[in-house]
A and B are shown apart, each in its own frame.
Chain A
């Protein structure tokens, strides 16, 4: 039952460094076709860095990233462009092109990568915007939208080429709970309707419970736990427990230590 074709992404022994500092070390995981894979972890643990490696915006120091069985890190540029046409990404800050209208933003990949005629592109753009609940906003500029609308527009643009896999960087960060829940539902809907694979980076427990099939928990650049949400909830790992119970970091306890840290006095 565990055939390689079932997996769309496979990461082997990934190590990533900024300068001399290893930010990710010995990362191994597989993402099954059609599932929602959540990368969970505290601030600064390397989630965005991991995502940047998965989409090829960064070269890893060592290790392999297989997308559909092909090593993404060792591809020629032409092949990488081909591979990228089949993935989409939603950025943390949505990264819409500010000089273009929403419709042009969504249509851009279609115009650049396909030979469809303009009226077809227009229809496809309308469909994608409809899908994320933004029909009627075709001629708006990104600056004229709210944060939640921008995120949804980013998703519409990521969906433009009908990708197999979508990467989300913190889709619900900075949004109010209702809008955030709406976005989670949207991610679910995309997965169900198009059999999309989703890789979602987040630190919001509520949205993890809603969307995750598999959760991968990172701490300081290492995987501490990998499994379904139920497995994580039952985990014995102290860090996972702390995260799920939302307990703060231990205060270092001793006030003398604190005084020493601040003043340097014994």
Chain B
């Protein structure tokens, strides 16, 4: 019993410490993102652009391909039910709404987590192990300003942009399957899609994607700075950055879906 209580206390304490570190990280990031540039301490524009290209442009092919395929899959699954009622034209509604509100933001975030979130954790972790973070500090360069903020901004720009694109591509995937395979008239499908979608759907999707971006980047950075020891520490934290990030993405998704459901 006593051991169980001790264990519970330790877990609570560790969770509180972790929460504290997360808060410090968030505060520090926003300090160097918002306050420091105003005070003339600069923002690393070039590095930000490089990260935007790395997270956004370079992941375009894989994100496009997967979103196109998922769009087609969704259309097929929808037709499975709707064909029974002779309502195949409503595939347009289903695919359009699901893509813009849910699937495109979520899938993009999941792919970027695997592709870039893990890379952020591994990069920062390796830099910590090889004393590069210490070297930055000794040079009088702030690691948050130098490493975190460019990644954060790059991610904050890349994920919503990717989400807009992947929404279109996903809808295109559904369109190709429905018109090509199921033989529905192309003009009717497009008209039906545009009738189904409203501005609020886009706002929902983009709001989510912004918060997904924040989660992916901060989890990667946090896990990276958590690395202790050597290479196996980097591996462990990289893995757990992906798991944590996916979990938090689902939680954020749930929260915002609920908010927009009632709002």
Contact = CB atoms under 8 A, between A and B. Distances in A.
Binding site of B, secondary structure by majority: helix, strand, loop or mixed?
helix
B36 to A, nearest CB: 11
A97 B134 CA distance: 11
A92 interface: yes
B140 A92 contact: no
B135 A91 contact: yes
B24 to A, nearest CB: 14
Interface stretch (A39-47, A82-90, A189-197, A229-237): A82-90
Contacts of B132: 95-98
Contacts of B131: 91-93, 95
A98 B132 CA distance: 9
Nearest to B136: A97
Interface in A90-107: 91-93, 95-98
B21 interface: no
Interface residues of B, number: 12
Contacts of B126: 98
Nearest to A87: B138
A108 B130 CA distance: 18
B134 A109 contact: no
B191 to A, nearest CB: 50
A57 B130 CA distance: 15
A84 B134 CA distance: 12
B240 to A, nearest CB: 23
B236 interface: no
A113 interface: yes
A226 B135 CA distance: 29
A57 B137 contact: yes
A89 B131 CA distance: 11
Interface in B122-136: 126-127, 130-132, 134-135
Contacts of A82: 140
Contact of B139 (A92, A96, A108): A108
B141 interface: yes
A112 B141 contact: yes
Interface in B43-98: none
Contacts of B134: 52, 57, 91, 95
Given A95-B131, A112-B141, 19 more contacts: A52-B134, A55-B138, A56-B138, A80-B140, A82-B140, A85-B140, A87-B138, A88-B138, A91-B131, A91-B134, A92-B131, A93-B131, A95-B130, A95-B134, A95-B135, A96-B132, A96-B135, A98-B126, A112-B140
Interface of A: 52, 55-57, 80-82, 84-85, 87-89, 91-93, 95-98, 108-109, 112-113
| Shortest Cβ-Cβ A-B pairs, 7 listed | A84-B140, A95-B131, A95-B135, A81-B140, A89-B138, A91-B131, A109-B139
Interface of B: 126-127, 130-132, 134-135, 137-141
